[in-house]
A and B are shown apart, each in its own frame.
Chain A
């Protein structure tokens, strides 16, 4: 756009000259010396206004200059001015041109015209030019529409009249000068007053005076601006002045437009001041004049910002220009031909701008195309055709102009932030079938087209024949020059001998194209069109390559090459196109690392083979100047190479201490015929517990098959070696090992890989530690001398893994994750056994568990034990090793008790050691888990811990179960009698001592039956009953009723035994008659039959429910004695409850019925003995019995059984409480039993078989 004459394409805004603000020297409007000489000065005599307010207003007005505004109607301001600030004077261009000096004055005075008109002989357009940029400049730069003069109003009353008069005079003078100039400029005056807006009242009269004296209209041309207000208000006031003035300016241009139309309406071509005498004496035709008038009208409309009108007039001018009698009359060799083309371009650009202004973007694109077509048709017919560089130069310019116009128009739809690439068509056209290009695309596309045309221009320029490229010889006849001139279109572009000279630099097409392409890249990048930007970058780099700007190319393309998405998205052809260019640049610039990287990448046969290219990475740097051997590190994230690697463990699991076969396969996908790659080393990194694998090259040509392709399996042997870290490249420094050495598995093999070959290295990887191991990356190193290349490949899961190569075929291994191996711990060869385990463990006994550790390893093992016991309420335990080290378990916290690290010591190979765990006795049946972990290390490999675990379930059961009965017995001692004075006194005497119970005593018998629940014979050593506690003020004592044998009783499993204990309870106080209870504990002391008889017996204890040991209710107890009638010596046997005697019958049975009354009531009982045919009895058949409180009475019956001995008799005795009419139950005691409500008495037989007598009464 800059190629066009200045101002010819710009948008026109009314010119406003601001005078009287600030004194600063300003550039004179009129610079042309010729015009200046005859310029009309407009001068004001008053000094310019100075001061802060004036500066503020000036600043604001200058801000409002619309020169750099975008070309669209979105600006919110009501006015749009091009503003020029002057001091107090400026020059207007002369209205009339002068006559040439050598001209003879004709008879009639010549008609003088504007100096810019083709009619004036001095004009460049004379005699047949159309219009040029000077005319535009005249209106835009020289002749203001408004001359805005600032004056100040003095406040000094004494000077008021004088000042006002001077002001009036000055205004009138300027006004006069303007009108005399012949231009229609308007004058607007702003009077500044230093008053506040409200305080202007006193000055109204003076202002009115001035107004009347100058004839200015206060609405349109005389403004008063009180300056005593805030800056914002001042700005607003200035703004309103500008808006009013703008209306005036619009009027001014409307007048001019009207005048132009009038001229056109005349329909005659005006005659020049002097008829042309030189050249063809051709003058401008009427059609040409119409073009001129239409163009002028359009420009004036544009000044008014009336774009629709401007558009119409421009279109008209354009039509006329290409219509009859204008351009077609101009011969193509004439300079006017190119002037006409220029005008056509200017009109077309202005049309485009008008279309953009009104939002008709699609129409604009069509118009753009139409101008192209029009011009190409026109040139083909009238000019020098379109098959030349000049046309392409124009095409390029035309596209660039469009781009610039779009940029200036600033469509919100095409803002980079909107990410729109093109603007939707205007409504009127949206229903049409549109060409896609007719959607207005953003400038990037247009710049790109401009660049493309530049390249076409070059193509055509290069086809210029040599003789045209010679600079014209000034001596040769001008005919030749004309000839050359004729055949080349040089519209706005150089002559062929400058465009592409034989010698020296011509037009730098590449640079032009690159400029455009870079602009395009900028636009594309702004809109996130990465790939398109890359594409354009590629085009740009082709040009850079052409001009051999290697450094620039490298800087430009290297980042693109590194980050290009073509590679990651598999656009191979694009990747390689870019890479080759970059390689060339890198080779020229000596960027060796880049050359190697690109060569390395491009060896992949996925790319297209470059003809005559030697694919050999070792010779990569041939012809490249390198200062020192470069070291290049690449990885497959950035670059895809021809080498592919895979790794596989043959087994998914292995054990520490063993080895696992694994295969590393490296496949070369290089171009067939490319030189084999000799790797210097291969390094496989593992994650987890595995050591890195390091293979080094060792030339051995015999092993490898020379044929390319196919597969070679070799198995290098590995050895663990220390590798200096320094030799490793620290490309990933984040995992820098702390030690300067790392242990690697090192092997040697021939690492030559031919194109298409798959090298398989089968190795045995020793597994050291348990855990997951995973192959992560393979790094290969090349060091052919000229450089060092490290290439790292990440091992990924893909289709090529999972293959186990077996020469010559390959076998698929269905492994989910062939890269990793699970290393199980070394299998323990330590046997841990529980020895001397008992069949059953019982509650109450300490549990001994013996553990035997048998070392079946080949060497001695350092061993320690961890013992854990799990279960509910875990007891403490102890453990000790054979050699005596002992340890206690940590406090058993609820569910777990443990003992860690019991040192067993070194166990020799195939020897054993023992440890014992002793668990404290447990009182209840339960279950525990005992876990024993044997940790050991072999002396040969102290780093590896080996673990053997055994678990043992401990079930603890009760060895015995027992049931209990408490039956009443008659206490033999008499109750204290309140009639017995001695006992009473004794009681009184002992009042002070509380130790001796004085209450009633009752006797009971506890019958215990216990059974063995053990699984083996147990020896019961002792039985015991203990009173653990009493409630209710009672003293209770238990005594054993029978004794066990000395060595105890041997109880077989599931047998029952019975034990009886006497229990005597005595209330502490006689007065206390509440019932009381006792808590009893039954204990069985026992021992296993296998146990040492001297050892402490185990005790199994049963807690009994509380029993009532004294009652407050009256009770009736029956007791029986036997007496033999024939033995007078003992008429009354006093041995109770032991009817173990043999006596002759008839015998007498004495039955005592004892009524106890522990209550404090006087009770009367009735006693009735029913006769029976089983026995005869003596005693009261019916009697009443009074029992005093706290007393007992006994009634005795003598029975003589009449039944055979050895049977039971059933006396029917009823004891009835007379008062309550309640029958009391008679409680049998020793030697009796109860049946129903009755008691039964045993009658011993003759043969004294007393087995039934042993039975106790049952309750």
Chain B
């Protein structure tokens, strides 16, 4: 039986006014038809998922104000959407929010070799058919690939730190104005278009493994 470990399925950057700034979707499963790595959900579903975390950011912030507890920025687990996907959050002191959606069975370890996101869960035990990824993609049956590895709240800190570093680097670009169009509240509000930032997000998402101690 193959073991699955968590992997990042989606990284989102949400602006101060709850506007989406950037979304990186990473493949954590395989397409049952083509066998290629594929994201677990559609971009629309990921958007909805990121948007739903805002409720929790708001509620926690309100709670923090009420109880006068200063937020450290790391919100830890925001919520788990189901037994596979969980959202973790971080808010900078300027109100920019980073959300990491973790697929708890996003990466399959088979034979002790990390094979990334591929590996359609082979083995005798996977009678459910398409292995961990495939089964979940079609939504059928609990995977026989057991998500053996859990997560501690702090384990995504490295991700958020790396995201923040990347974001700060983006802000240092004098041509990027994070508040552009914010006043109008209308269509002009810009998303992050920097290719470098997107690549950095993808790199962070790819590189992160639970329990890793190195900075990303």
A475 within 8 Å of B (CB atoms): no
Residues of A within 8 A of B84 (CB): 437
- Select the stretch in A376-384, A730-738, A835-843 that faces chain B: A376-384
Q: Among A373, A422, A433, which residue has its beta carbon within 8 angstroms of that of B142?
A: A373
Q: Which residues of chain B come closer than 8 Å to A538, judged between CB atoms?
A: 48
Whether the pair B55, A529 counts as a contact (CB closer than 8 A) is: yes
Name which of A792-800, A968-976, A1173-1181, A1249-1257 contacts chain B. A792-800
B186 engages A391 (CB within 8 Å): no
CA distance A432 to B155 in the complex (A): 13
> B149 and A433: CB pair below 8 A?
yes
Q: Is B71 an interface residue (CB 8 A)?
A: no
> A535-B51, A569-B19 given as contacts; is B142 within 8 A of A437 (CB)?
no
Contact B83 A369 (CB under 8 A): yes
When the two chains form their complex, are residues A570 and B189 in contact, meaning their CB atoms are under 8 A apart?
yes
> Are A436 and B151 touching (Cβ within 8 A)?
yes
Pairwise interchain contact B149-A798, C-beta atoms closer than 8 A: no
A452 CA / B139 CA spacing, docked (Å): 8
Given contacts A435-B147, A437-B104, A532-B55, contact A796 B183 (CB under 8 A): yes
Binary B-proximity of A501-536 (CB < 8 A = 1, otherwise 0): 000000000000000000000000001111110110
A442 closest partner in B (C-beta): B79
Interface contact A445-B80, CB-CB below 8 Å: yes
Q: Which of A792-827 contact B (CB under 8 A)?
A: 796-800
- B65: Cβ under 8 A from any A Cβ: no
A437 adjacent to B186 (CB under 8 Å)? no
Query: Chain B, 57-76, contact with A by CB distance < 8 Å: what is the 0/1 string?
Result: 01100010000000000000
**Out of A459, A569, A644, which one reaches B18, CB within 8 Å?**
A569
Cα A419 to Cα B52 in complex, Å, equals: 15
> Is the pair B56, A386 in contact by a Cβ cutoff of 8 Å?
no
A574 and B48 form a contact (CB under 8 A):
yes
B54 within 8 A of A: yes
Residues 821-860 (chain A) with a chain B CB within 8 angstroms:
none
Whether, in the assembled complex, B140 has its beta carbon less than 8 Å from a beta carbon of chain A, the answer is yes
Contact of A439 among B59, B77, B127, B210 (CB under 8 A): B77
A574 touches B51 (CB 8 A): yes
**Contact count band on B:** 35 or more
Provided the pairs A385-B127, A568-B185 are in contact, do residues A531 and B51 lie with their beta carbons within 8 angstroms? yes
User: B47 an interface residue at 8 Å Cβ cutoff?
Assistant: yes
- The answer to whether A438 touches B150, judged by C-beta atoms less than 8 angstroms apart, is yes
A644: contacting residue among B19, B48, B187, CB under 8 A? B187
Q: A380-B128, A456-B139, A798-B183 are in contact. Are A528 and B55 (CB under 8 A)?
A: yes
Instruction: Determine the chain A residues whose CB is within 8 A of the CB of B195 once the complex forms.
Output: none
Chain B, range 153-194, C-beta contacts under 8 Å to A:
180-181, 183-189
Contact with B along A381-403 (1 / 0, CB 8 A): 10001110001100100000000
List, in ascending order, chain A residues with CB within 8 A of B180's CB: 799
For residue A392, which residues in chain B have a CB less than 8 angstroms away from its CB? 140
Q: Is A422's CB under 8 angstroms from B80's CB?
A: yes
Residues in B123-150 with C-beta less than 8 Å from chain A:
127-129, 138-142, 144, 146-147, 149-150
By a CB distance below 8 angstroms, the chain A residues around B80 are: 422, 435-437, 439, 441, 445
Q: Which B residues are in CB contact (< 8 Å) with A376?
A: 128, 141-142, 144
With A538-B48, A574-B51: A640-B82 Cβ-Cβ less than 8 Å: no
Question: Does A566 have its Cβ within 8 Å of any Cβ on chain B?
Answer: yes
Contact A433:B63 (CB < 8 A) given known A376-B142, A460-B140, A798-B181? no
**B113 in the interface, Cβ–Cβ < 8 Å?**
no
Give every chain B residue within 8 A of A422 (Cβ-Cβ): 77, 79-80
Provide the residues of chain B in CB contact with A437, threshold 8 Å. Answer: 80, 82-84, 86, 104
Q: Name the residue on B nearest A449 (C-beta).
A: B82
How far, in angstroms, from A530 to B52 measured CA to CA in the complex? 8
Q: Is B95 located at the chain interface by the 8 A CB criterion?
A: no
Residue in chain B with minimal CB distance to A569? B18
Interface: A987 (CB within 8 A) = no
Which residues of A sit under 8 angstroms from B141, Cβ to Cβ?
Answer: 376, 386-387, 391, 395
Q: A373-B142, A376-B144 are in contact. Are A436 and B77 (CB under 8 A)?
A: yes
Answer whether A421 and B20 are a contact pair too, CB < 8 Å, given A436-B86, A452-B139.
Answer: no
Please encode chain A, from 440 to 472, with 1 for each CB lying within 8 Å of some chain B CB and 0 for all others.
010001001100110110011000000000000
B56 touches A421 (CB 8 A): yes
Is A604 interfacial (CB 8 A cutoff)?
yes
Contact: B186 with A669, CB < 8 Å?
Answer: no
Q: Choose from A385, A391, A535, A796 the contact partner of B52 (Cβ within 8 Å).
A: A535
Would you call A613 an interface residue if the criterion is a C-beta within 8 Å of the partner chain's C-beta atoms? no
- A372 on the interface (CB 8 Å rule)? yes
In this complex, the member of A381, A453, A531, A669 whose beta carbon has the largest number of chain B beta carbons within 10 angstroms is A531
Q: Which residues of A contact B104 (CB under 8 A)?
A: 435-437
Give the residues from 13 to 52 in chain B that come closer than 8 angstroms, CB to CB, to chain A: 17-20, 43-44, 47-49, 51-52
* Complex alpha-carbon distance, A419 and B128, angstroms: 38
When chains A and B are docked, how far (Å) is the Cα of A569 from the Cα of B81? 22
Using A380-B128, A570-B19 as known contacts, say yes or no to A640 and B187 having CB atoms under 8 A apart.
yes
Nearest to B184 among chain A residues (CB) is A798
Question: Please, which residues of chain A bring their CB within 8 A of the CB of B83?
Answer: 369, 435, 437
| Beta-carbon contact of B82 and A386 below 8 Å | no
Contact A433 B140 (CB under 8 A): no
CB–CB B51/A433 < 8 A: no
Question: Which residues of chain B are within 8 angstroms of A438 by Cβ–Cβ distance?
Answer: 150
Contacts of B79 in A (CB 8 A): 421-422, 436, 441, 445
Q: In the bound complex, how far is the Cα of B81 from the Cα of A449, in angstroms?
A: 9
CA distance A568 to B127 in the complex (A): 47
A669 CA / B146 CA spacing, docked (Å) = 50
Does A577 sit at the interface, judged by CB under 8 A? Answer: yes
- Contact at A604–B187, with CB atoms within 8 Å? yes
- CB A568 to nearest CB in B, in angstroms, measures 7
User: Which of chain B's residues have a CB closer than 8 A to the CB of A565?
Assistant: 18, 54
Q: Which residues of B contact A530 (CB under 8 A)?
A: 55
Instruction: Name the contact of A799 in the complex, choosing from B49, B142, B188 (C-beta under 8 A).
Output: B188
Interface: A573 (CB within 8 A): yes
Would A569 and B188 count as touching, CB distance under 8 A?
no
Contact of A372 among B19, B78, B142 (CB under 8 A): B142
Q: B102 at interface (Cβ–Cβ under 8 A)? A: yes
The one of A387, A439, A449, A797 in contact with B140, judged by C-beta atoms closer than 8 angstroms, is: A387
Query: Are A456 and B128 closer than 8 Å at their CB atoms?
Result: no
Contact indicator B59/A419 (Cβ below 8 Å): yes
| Assembly CA distance A387 to B134 (angstroms) | 12
In the complex, A979 has a CB within 8 A of chain B: no
When chains A and B are docked, how far (Å) is the Cα of A689 from the Cα of B138?
A: 65
Whether A387 contacts B129 by the Cβ 8 Å rule is yes
**A531 adjacent to B147 (CB under 8 Å):** no
Contacts of B128 in A (CB 8 A): 376, 380, 386-387
Q: How far is the CB of B46 from chain A (nearest CB, A)?
A: 10
Give the residue among B52, B84, B102, B210 with the most A Cβ atoms within 10 A. Answer: B52
Within 8 A of B (CB), among A627-663: 636, 640, 644
Query: Are A381 and B127 in contact, CB atoms less than 8 angstroms apart?
Result: yes
B44 touches A445 (CB 8 A): no
Closest to B142 in A: A372
Chain B residues in 8 Å Cβ range of A179? none
Give the residue name and chain of the B residue nearest to A577 (CB): B44
Cβ–Cβ contact A432 & B48, under 8 A: no
Closest CB in chain A relative to B28 CB, distance in Å: 15
Interface string of A459-491 (1 = CB under 8 A from B): 110000000000000000000000000000000
A-B contact pairs, 28 of them (CB 8 A): A373-B142, A380-B127, A380-B128, A422-B80, A434-B152, A435-B151, A436-B86, A436-B104, A437-B80, A437-B84, A439-B77, A441-B79, A441-B80, A452-B82, A453-B139, A529-B52, A531-B52, A565-B18, A566-B51, A568-B185, A569-B18, A570-B20, A571-B47, A644-B187, A796-B183, A798-B184, A799-B180, A799-B181
New contact pairs (8) apart from A436-B80, A569-B20, CB-CB < 8 Å: A376-B142, A395-B141, A422-B80, A436-B150, A439-B80, A531-B51, A569-B54, A571-B20
The 5 A-B residue pairs with the shortest CB-CB distance in the complex, in nearest-first order: A436-B86, A433-B150, A798-B184, A386-B141, A532-B52
